[in-house]
Structure 1
Amino acid sequence: MGVITVLAVAGMASAVFIARISYGEASAVNIAGSLRMQSYRIATALEARRNGDFITSKDIEDLSDEFESRFNDPLLTGAVTGVNNQSLQRIYSLVESRWSLAVSPLIKAFIQEIETGTSAASLDRTSRNFHTLIKSFVNDIDKLVYQLEETAESRIHLLGLMQSISLLLTLMVAAATLYLMQTDIVSPLRDLLSSAEKAGEGDLSVRVGHTGPDELGRLGQAFNTMAIQLSRIYEDLEQRVEEKTQELTQRNNSLELLYDISRGLTKAPISEPIYRKMLSDIAKVVDVKSITLCLLDHDSRHAHRLANSGTIPPMCETANCEICIDDGKQRKLIIGDSNILSIPVNDQEQQYGVLLIEYEIGKSMESWQTHLLNTLGRHIGIAIGVTRRVNQRRRLALLDERSVIARELHDSLAQSLSYLKIQVARLSILIKPDDVSAKVAEVIAELEEGLDASYRQLRELLTTFRLKMDENGLTAALNETVEGFRERSSLTINLDNRISGDPLSVNEEIHILQIVREALSNITYHAKATKAEIRLSQNADGKVIIDIEDDGIGIPPQADRTHHYGLAIMRERASSLNAKIQIEPRSEKGTRVRLQFLPKNDQPNLSQDAVEI
């Protein structure tokens, strides 16, 4: 209490002292401020005297004397000299010197010029100089006023600071007293009770702060030891629960993924957009960089990259499919800065391709990931197998229907044309050339020519309908067609088929095969060529491109006229495919036939393979 009393007395004494030394400062500020007004009054009086108003030189001198009286007022000079403020004293001296050395002499000179009747130009010049000087002089007075105000405010701030320090010291002494009273008993006891309540609510991270050598400190140590042991037990239990939860979450995600993939595979054809989305979903669940699906071409042992979820694996750039396919079993590869896991895509003993899973170096695949990927590989293989078997059944059904149509055409239209040919031949024999006119002979010749053309066209149509395409699809049919033309002619034919997988429907395969047959037939019988090349490929956009080239004599300008049925058949087939066909001469020699179209493999229903004649 004694310390608090001393602090209170010191605070009051400091307040009395500051109030005493601040006496008269407000009046000094007012006097200094009035100097600005007095300066402007002098300037206004000079202008009035110059203009002949009722102002005398004596009035102006009185105003100047009043300015000096205010400037030398004891309150103002006392405020300036009573403090140790060099800035204030310096600005006061500056105002005093400028008044005595510049402003006052210029006032007297201005009055003298007015009294002596100096020229208007000289008065204007003196007036401008005076006003410029007054503006600068008033600025100096403003600085003097500012310094006086700042001095007064600093004393007020000093008073506030001393009072604040006194109050703060008083509060600190009171707080120290309370702290010394409660620190050894009240606070440790409250801390212990609070910690016990939190521990009872399940918060085992709480610890007692007071662990000193006294009784409460020893009790706090025992409480902290108990809380640490209980926390370890709970953390172990929570870790086990979290591991089981993660395991169940993984299983649920795997089952959900398997369900979604299985449902999608039953409804979707083998197409890049659908499989790309499936692979992206798989990569997200399994947590790998990317997954690529490659379908195997059993004839060439090469693979076709159907879809991928991210970046293309490094080994796909070399087109060495044996690295991934090999013996058709699961393999692990290390290429560059990635691990590659090759998962076979098969249905029973039949392998249709591989899943290439790319993941980072230093990361290993867990057993659940490998098991899920193998299961998905089997599901995709089953879906591909079902799709291919359905396509085979459609292909066989379509070929059977075409065979039936071919037999019906042979039994009806072919026999009718044969009968007409026989009748026209009889008519030609019965009518002697001398007995008929030239027009009748011309009509008979046109009949014979028309029947021959119709018969040839019918034979081509029957050949088309009798075209065989077994379960091996387009590749086997193209090889068989090329081999047949090789045997029937001396033509050297090279076949380069780079279409793998199942991008084409049954009708598209038949149209392509027939266009190739028509082109080879034209090359064999009309082009006088020695070599032909057939190239089939599919670009990144899924567009199928077929090039058929020869080194023959080319197509004559009259190729599109009547009875050039091969070109017409090719264009008609291309139109059925919604394809673009180009028949043009090569830069060297010969002809190039180019067919481009986008397969309609994005229509899952059966209508896409409806029978087309």
Structure 2
Amino acid sequence: MKKRFMGSVMLYITLSLTSIIAIAIMTMFASYWITEQADIDAYAINIGGSLRMQTYQIGFYTNAGLTEETKQTVSLFEAKLDSPIFNKLRQSPDVITVLQDLSVFWYQKVKPNLVANNPQLTQLLATQVEKANQIVSLLQKNAEHRIVLLRTIQLVAVFITLILGVLIIYLMKLWVQIPMAQLTKAAHAIGKGDFTQRVQIKGDDELALLAATLNHTCDAIAAMYGQLEKRVIEQTQELKRNNKALMFLFTTVRTMLEKQEHKIDYQKLLDELADLINVDNIELCLMTAQGDNPYLQVQNHQLTSHLCTTKNCNKCHGDAVFINISEPQNTLYPLVYNDINYGVLVVTNDLTMSPHSWQNQLIQSVADQVALSLNLADQHNKERRIALLQERTVIARELHDSLAQALSYLKIQVTRLDFSQKRLQYEQQQPIIDELRLGLDSAYRQLRELLTTFRLKVLDEGLHPALNKTLELLTEQSEMQFYLHFAIQQVPLSPMEEIHLLQIAREACQNTVHHSQGKHVWIDIKQSENNKIVLTVSDDGIGITQSAKLNHYGMAIMQERSKQLNGELKIRDRLGGGTEVELTFMPQSTLSQTSVKANNNDAE
């Protein structure tokens, strides 16, 4: 088909542009040539006018008897008369003739008669002025002639360009615009599904070839349209199936993550998976990492018996999807996460699935999600065990540092009382009984504080509400006024950091209630310039120097909690009276960001 169309639209356009460009270039070269000729006209006219002016000056200086000025003016006149600028005017014979005549007249007649009070000098100078005027007039006429010639060339170029432009526009409309309009109209109709369009363009250029090709394409598209509809239906069904698979996988992932503490319905999961991939035989076996048989076997409703009748999992261990040689009809998907095998998903399919098929990938994703869910459940259980152990350790430490010490003290007093009873030292029993009463009161008070401490927790809203709740309880138990300034709303703290902060603040406030003898307590929590958290508890009481011995157990507990935070606890007298407790530590969130920035800087 292409051999029948040997013309070229681009050739037409190229010729048109070449013609316009050629005219433009010729016009520019002609203008340049003319302006080059007229480049020295202004300077030559200026020189000619100077000759005329200096002629007047020579006559004036000569008649006035100014010999020195006359010589200088004569030298300047002769220099301009022999100026190189006139050598460039050889193409103007009239100017050259007058210039030579002026030069001969000067050297032969005027210069020899340059004598003061010479009656012929005035007439000679007048003649020389007329010759200089002739030179200026000729130079002016030559310059005007070049300007007229330049204008004529430009007008002719504009006229030719207009004619050529009209002709090119007409030809472009005939050869390009009309065929393009037909092709555009046909393309618009074809875009709407009308494949009966035909374009008739005469000629042998690319547009005619495009029209013939478009006609041929319409015939081919009309033939393929039926096949495309069938393929669209198939692709639509596949998209629906993929969308259904994605929704199933999304629901599965969300269910696995939301039900960490609740039992997951594996039966429903297998039934939905079997319906989705159109496979009847699916079984899920869950086992422990140390076990060799499953503790849970789940199958879809289509199965009448378990696939794994032996309940022996020695042959089901693996790191990836595999097929058991003894049972080639079964495909096994191990539930492995972090090198821990939680079981296996067994699928029996009548038709062999490709390793890259969507069914195989979906089953593998479900197996991975089940393994991840079981791993998260294990991690959650481990965290709960660790939290329980930590809580018991805290309880044991608190009992040892407070109530156990008090009971030991009471035991010593009872021993003293028994010793005085045996020696019949009745006068010493009353002080011992008083100390026992004080010790019992102190032990009871410490027991109540421990109960309050063990019941103390960080609310779901965070550390700030928990501190407010603690201060409300202390306000009810005493007559002191508590003021809280909480300025770390933008700093994320870990649960352990919040617990330690709350306990240290509570213990410091409790000490002020029992020992400070003050009226006001200020609690300030803020972030310093180096991103550290600073907790300050201060009062207006008697000061730490006089009350340190009364609550040394609480001091030790606060010191131990500050060490667990990797912080620094300072207890000192407050300026202006009272006690000030200051805790400074770096939170884990800020410490992690600092480590990341340091690593990035090292990498750079």
Query: TM-score band, normalised by the shorter chain?
Result: 0.3 to 0.5
TM-score between both structures, scaled by the size of structure 1? 0.32
